[in-house]
Structure 1
Amino acid sequence: MNEPSTTEAAQRKRLYWHSRRGMWELDLLLVPFLEQRYDTLDEADQAAFRELIDEEDQDLFVWLMRREWPEAPARRRIVQLIIEHAESADSVGHRPV
């Protein structure tokens, strides 16, 4: 078994399970973003996503529903990327129901 692919697979599983929050609104934003965009992000944005999903659900909800913006620039950027992804997927009819 190849060590890097095993590590990458384990990290991917962790990211997937941490992206499933149990709050429908968050699941609809985080899981598709992970599945469709994460691999195309640069290292800094991937790191920001990994850090973001360690936040509390209530903070994620406030940020992803655009009620407030995170103060940290990297966190604000990843939140904006997730929102933009959801809006673009919604406009072409790819948003899961």
Structure 2
Amino acid sequence: MEINRLRWAARRGMLELDLILAPFVENVYQTLEEHEQKLFQELLECEDQDMFNWFLRKGESEDPDIQKIVRIVQSHTGKQVE
């Protein structure tokens, strides 16, 4: 996915997600391996509330690949969403 489209897709309806996803796209996404980039693109197709819960560690995705990219994003956020 083109980086400008990815930036747009990372803009969500929740400020908390924007604060996680936008910096990840800007600072980390392009350093990921190709398969991890595809996982991130799949993550962006998930529901906002699901992602919010995953990032808050209030649940996990049933898809182990999605959960893997959630962990990668979490490792780059610097702190957990409060």
TM-score, normalising length: structure 2: 0.89
**1:37 Cα offset (Å):** 0.5
**Which of 41, 49, 53 is the matching residue for 1:58?**
49
**Mapped partners of 1:29, 1:66: distance in 2:** 14
Q: CA RMSD in A?
A: 1.2
Residues 12-55 of structure 1, C-alpha deviations (whole Å, 9 max, x = no match): 11111110103110001001111101001001110000010011
| Structure 1 outlier segments of 4+, above 3 Å | none
**Mapped partners of 1:86, 1:54: distance in 2:** 20
**Mapped partners of 2:72, 2:57: distance in 1:** 12
**Mapped partners of 1:36, 1:12: distance in 2:** 12
Q: Please list every run of 5 or more consecutive structure 2 residues that lacks an aligned counterpart in the other structure.
A: none
Q: How many residues align?
A: 79
Maintained 8 Å contact 2:13/2:48: no
Q: Please list every run of 5 or more consecutive structure 1 residues that lacks an aligned counterpart in the other structure.
A: 1-7, 91-97
Where do 1:16-95 residues align within 5 Å? 16-87=7-78, 90=79
**Mapped partners of 2:19, 2:39: distance in 1:** 19
**Mapped partners of 1:49, 1:62: distance in 2:** 16
